[in-house]
Chains A and B, each alone.
Chain A
Amino acid sequence: MDSTQQGEAQFLETWRNPTGFPGWFSEVNNQPLGKRFMVTSFAFFLVGGAMALLMRLQLVSSENNFLGPEVFNQLFTMHGSTMMFLFAVPFLEGLALYLTPLMIGSRDVAYPRLTAFGYWTYLFGGLVFFASFLVGAVPAAGWFAYVPLSGRPFAGLEMDFWLLGLALVEIGGLVAGVEIVATILKLRAPGMTLARMPLFIWAILAAGLMIIFAFTTLLMATLLLEMDRAVGTQFFNPESGGNILLWQHLFWFFGHPEVYIIFLPATGIVSMVVAAFARRIVGYTLIAMAIIVTAFVSFGLWVHHMYTTGLPELSMHFFAAASLMVAVASGTQFFAWIATLWGSAPAFKVPLMYVLGFLVVFLLGGLTGVMVAVVPFDWQVHDTYFIVAHLHYVLIGGAVFPMMAGLYYWLPKITGRMLDERLGQWGFWLAFIGFNVTFFPMHMMGFFGMPRRVYTYPAELGLDFYNLIATVGSFILALGFLVFVVDFFISLRRGTPAEDNPWGSDSLEWSVSSPSPSFTFYAPPLVQSRHPLWHEPDPELEDPATARAREALRGAPAEFRATLTTDILTAAPEAVYRLAGPTYVPLFAALGLTVLMLGILGGWYTVALGGTAFTVAALGVWLWPNEMTLRTLRESDIGQRAGLPLFATGTRSTAWWGAVWLLVILATAFGVLFYSYYYIRLFATVWPQGDLPLPGLALPPIAYALLVGSALPIYWATRSFHRGERSQTLASLAASLFLGVVFIVWLVYELASLEYAMQDNAYASLFYVISAALGLLVLTALPIGACAFLRMRREHEDRKGFMALQMQITALFWFFTAAMGAIVFFVLYLSPHVV
């Protein structure tokens, strides 16, 4: 009895989140970090909203002189960037990070340290971004940062703040996306098959996957632009063979999915709230399918932002068709909610009110979206206030209202306090009415000739009346959000304590106490249906292996944080997975990256180099296996008790999946480079441009053959390792490393001996940058291989445990590098010779 109590106390202690000032920086648990994401992004939301109010004051009448052009342009740039990058996505990611483990029945997200790293990069990125106000160099090129306006010489230091700050924010968003995907795929409670996942989980799974592709594209685009600005590459400079439309393609290839990255999780919230209030969900499968279709199709819509750039007619029609198709997917979700609510006599509490407000507002925004998909119509309203109206109907109606619904719905679980119903209703009606008063007249302003992003307009356009209405509305809208903020703070102090399941909902998060404990579930829950809280699970039906695993994890293990990993499809238990506890390493890694960005910002390249070294060192500490942890794990009997491995390998291992997602990101990044290469080539009259010599075919094929061939010894190493042949394993690994080093040496020689510089023209820039990217990839593969080599000398007998996993990941990464080498060789060396 005593030992059980002792075990329980130790379990709670293991899961206790660090307290106090220093503890704040070592936090890795998803709940405090999810909250931080939400609070930080909501603060940015309020700042972005305040900027909007200032702009509305400037536009209240024609020829107004309240702000002047410079400040106005800065404000709309910062407003858009803040709302899109610093508020919408991080807020939803925060909500997802908080809720996912609770909803799927795991104890934390898949990579707790990565959660912290993502938060810190996001926070630091946001701070760098806003630091532009302190130095008086505020970005003013719009949230879309079209070149050449965002390039030199049209934009100065302020644009570097924008690019580098956002690069950090994007990294934060990207890792949170990976986190969400990996968690949903691997950490679901036993029995929660894909078809039993809550719809919110479906939605954020889709959004997470989209983030991986879309954010990587944006990250690469911002890197290319920053290189143009900082080191004089010519990707976007039309005078040296670059192409300004390349930026627009890359930006909107991110930018359109971005809208759905925001919208899909919002629909997930709506599905949950609707189901809770209607006490059922109709069309679950159709909704899930609609989510998947939307995610796919959203990557085929980007050109509808470019109808006026002078593209070929055929491509415009293709994108018009895709744009109309995505409306069908949204329509499906819409009618599923109507069918769900039909005759259910829901209680009109605040979460439902926001959902109903969402339905009306988003419907209108969706319909104007259908309108602008019609090509000639878009020619007229593109870049006018009609679009301003449309996008706010879609983003405020389609995302902010659902977020508010989600806050009123889930805050009781997060804070343990109910929000006030009366204040909530006031807030809703103010926001709903204020929203429509603000944005509805903007449709008309667009028709009457008011372009976007103008700080003023002549009286003769006859727009004063509508602008006055919109400005009045914007203050009503702001008041609505203010009421929520007040309500929130009152509830923290005096709110009614929340019950476990105040709304009578169906999903797992409502089965734990409010506020939710940091370990979420004392024992992994059992899931046998889509509505685990409505249909009491029947333990009789549980298979013995699952029962054993769940029982073994009841309040255990006590020595370290752990959760169950399960099969991607069937959610059958596969392993016990140790989760990282509090550590400062992610903070240091994020700090290093920030120093790197600040170094580039100021042109202090030694500082940048120092930041890089610091980041690499932090990553080294992060990734190098901790002997103490390994010992604790090896001494633990949790694996035997659960009947599951504690050291999982291959597809059972979250680490292996982490490596896969990293490679997906890298592949996307290289894809962006290849796309840029061929896009610029497509519009070049001669290739290579500027009569530069064709790439030589003497030495390069040999060097690239060595790189591609280095995959072979890695393969031998894996085989020998499994056979237990230590010396052969080591020799093979050494051979691969040697070939990799030879390639790097050759690459440096090759780039140094080229008779042109990367600043010469776009071709030269592409050649250098793609080569250098491959070089960086090899330089990353080398330490991974070296690490395997060093550990192999001692751990070669660990053929089923940690070393096996390390070998798998090493091989995976090395094979990827070899494959990328082959493609780069084709793109850079072979394809220019083919006419």
Chain B
Amino acid sequence: MTSLALTRDRIARVRPGPALAALLIAAFLLLFLVVPVVQVIFVAFQDKTTGAFTLVNFADFFRNDLFMRSFANSFYVSAMSVVVASLLALPLAYLTMRFEFRGAVLIQSLGIIPLIMPPFIGAVAMQLLFGRNGSVNLLLRDHFGVSIPFMEGLNGVIFVQSIHYFPFILINLSASLKNIDRAMEESAQNLGCHGFRLFRRIVFPLAMPGYVAGASLVFIKVFDDLGTPLLLNVNDMLAPQAYLRISSIGIADPMGYVISVVLIACSLLALWVSALAMRGKDYATVQRGGGGLAKRRLKPLELVAAYAVVLLILVLVLAPHVGLGLLSFATIWSFSPVPDAFTLKHYQTVFTESGQYITNTLLYASLAALLDVVIGTAIAYLVLRTKLPGRQWLDYIAMAALAVPGVVLGIGYLRSFYGVPMPFTGQPLSNFWLILVFALAIRRLPYALRACTAALQQVSSSLEEAAENLGATKLRTVGRIVVPLMSGGILAGFVTSFATAAVELSATIMLVHSQSDAPLAYGLYVYMQSAAGRGPGAALGVFAVVIVGLGTYLSHVVIERGRRERGQDH
């Protein structure tokens, strides 16, 4: 919105700017989220035989044992995943932010990689490592005669989901920790507060916006996630139930859509609760420049312990990718701790066949992520800094996208845009590749939005007031003061959106209409449907991970340099 906003510099003086921005965003959300989704889910409120409006389908939902069991399971798994993800994220975030740590940037980047778990292949890799007959259990059984049920039933879902989504907490928490005013900490220390008490009473509460943002994302994401439970063959959870019903031929009954509505409602509820938890607390700090916690050196023994903790966590969370790497070089890997032999031929196959997928993915995911941070920043600003009526709804609607199953969005897009011919070519609008970008942007907008909101919550509005008192226009203030101060959070949002958009499949699969426009996830899907495609699929997955990982690392480096330069100017 900023570039758009800047062109309207003059209009802004009479303050219709925010209203206009809000209208534009509302139109975008309406066109690319609300209308397509409503096109599909109105079936939930329809009597199957007469087509009249009814709520009887919802009564059926609550009377059905299977759905109630699924509901309870989804809730349990989501809550446990938040707990386990916090256990993984807290030490990584705190240790790297608090202490002089060699390669802290690298650790932070590695910590984000689990988000990029390509579809299908991630679960295959996890089964090969931790499954009942995976490497770990085969070795344990051979040597000790025991096995650990990491991957059995709901355990498996919690295990995989925590590893997959804990970066949401890590990224947002780190961004918050970075923004804490050092003076707060120093004052506390001067008053005699140290160690764990300092962390519990001062540091953690100040970093609360980031933690809550991350934790609520993890909760909602796990609650709505489809791929992991399906691939682990756990189907008594809500999202898989919705998917199974919607996508089965001949069972176009309303229950799948009822579940979708319930999912969307629960996500909004979770958001509302997290907003409630944050209400009435002011997390903004005025001073900038000396931001972030004071870093101190660890004593040698502490250093060893800290490294051990970090390494242990990294080994655990990177395990799927180690498995993926092994798989991409493996000839055959079946019922054995390691592959039979290694080869480079899968990479050769991918190089000759799949270059197009990679360039398409880079284009789509970066455009989508850019769109996300622009809209995310704008919504955060509108919600936190203006008094526009109904502004909260922009936030709620955008976040509801998290709960819309990708299949529903994909079918909705086809319904809404297929009949619309494109100017000049006459091709259906839904075949235009930009539609795929919009679908990705809508699906990943919630990540960027939460990150941007958390970032803005930590910027004190007195800084903007100061700028305006000095004669800056509202837009100049936003462009020169607010956005730069939010840059850490915006970057976090960009990275999460980009990384996850690069591997999204469920909406993509409905919208891809030609191979030349297909992204990487589609290529992976195609490979993973055949026995011979497992190796090349893994190799393509490695490409995805490397590309996104490099992107993350580079943007960290850039932002760190920016901070340092600003710090010197100060």
Q: Do A and B bind each other?
A: no
